[in-house]
Amino acid sequence: MAYVLGVLGVAIVTFTSTNIDDIFVLLGFFADPKFRLRQIIIGQYLGIGVLYGVSAIASLLALVIPAAYIGLLGLAPIYFGLSRLWELWNGGEAGDNPEDHAKASAGHGNIVAIALVTIANGGDNISVYTPLFATRSAYEVLAIGCIFAVLTAVWLGAAHSLVNHPKLGAPIRRHGHRVVPFVLIALGILILYEAGTVTLFR
């Protein structure tokens, strides 16, 4: 029992400490009418799944991915942030035209965008997950993956609840789409800076 609780505790602490900022990104997605609930859920799980899968493979192959190259993922949120700013600048307030929402939500582009932002935001998680997985058995790594999946649902539920809160939800939905582009751009710049990616361009 103590062994199971130990694995559970490690998984919870690891996920929480490496994804705490993801809550704010999810708030922005849920507040943006261009993104459907299904797209956010699928995109988030795809992103977390990629981070988990890459870390598991890296631990098996004893690979160390240079942080500077992982940091290149920071270009993704910058791109999406700039795209959203351009849309707001040219099309007025996001959320004014229901037909535009339907068109924007119809394809798989939103799912890919959410997945890429999740991967970029959690790119540095690989450097945490890889050594953790390398010191665990295959069963433990699988168990940690299952716990990560449950915690991802908790993260999604918490963000969705906040956006739909009777008092907090209205201002988040009203202003969230205006804030999201700046959050994404700042997030991307932070990722590039912390990973030391700028050194690749020298």
- CB–CB of 169/69 below 8 Å? no
Mean pLDDT of 110-126: 84
Does residue 191 carry a pLDDT above 50? yes
Q: What is the 3-state secondary structure (H, E, C) of 132-192?
A: HHHCCCHHHHHHHHHHHHHHHHHHHHHHHHHHCCCCCHHHHHHHHHHHHHHHHHHHHHHHH
Does residue 167 carry a pLDDT above 50? yes
Tell me, what's the pLDDT at 21? 74
- Between 112 and 87, the more confident residue is 112
Taking only the tens place, the pLDDT of each residue in 34-89 is 888 999 999 999 999 999 999 888 877 655 566 677 667 678 778 877 887 887 77
Alpha-carbon span 188 to 199, nearest angstrom:
16
Tokens 């993260």 label which residue? 155
The token duo for 27 is 């708030």
- Between 130 and 36, the more confident residue is 36
Alpha-carbon span 36 to 30, nearest angstrom:
8
- CB–CB of 34/105 below 8 Å? yes
- CB–CB of 26/159 below 8 Å? yes
Does residue 93 carry a pLDDT above 70? no
Tell me, what's the pLDDT at 155? 92
